Amino acid sequence: MTKYFAKLGLNSKVETVRLIHDNVAPTEQAGIEHLNKTHSYPFWRQTYKDRSKRKNFAAKGMIYDEKRDAFIHPQPYPSWTLNEDTCQWEAPVPRPDRSTGCPYNWDETTGAWIKHE
């Protein structure tokens, strides 16, 4: 088994995600200590592919929000709000049904989904 750890930079921004084997890091704290020793860098948080903890799997550019104990993507548009349960950004208008096969892009100026052709 393996564990994943996010390296947190300035303002808790994820710089990279590292993989560590369970025999090296049986716990989150052991993983942080190993990474601190290996990379001489102390700011790491475990992230989970199955999203069982910390809401989302960390990726470069995301922010670790300590208060929510969650990894969150940067806000894509000013009008979008954060769903506190999922820590995912949501448009003020739901995305149209994707089953039509037509992709849609958000237009912040009009506040609507525009069919991308």
Question: 46: which strand partners?
Answer: 5
pLDDT score of 1: 86
Instruction: Give the tens place of pLDDT for each residue, 27-49.
Output: 999 999 999 999 999 999 999 99
The whole-number average pLDDT for the span 75-86 is 98
What pTM did the predictor assign? 0.89
Instruction: Give the tens place of pLDDT for each residue, 90-112.
Output: 999 999 887 777 889 999 999 99
The whole-number average pLDDT for the span 6-17 is 98
pLDDT score of 14: 98
Q: Which residues contact 82 (CB under 8 A, 6 or more apart)?
A: 72, 75, 88, 89, 90
The secondary structure of residue 31, as a DSSP letter, is H
Distances (CA, A) of 63 to 1, 47, 53: 26, 12, 15
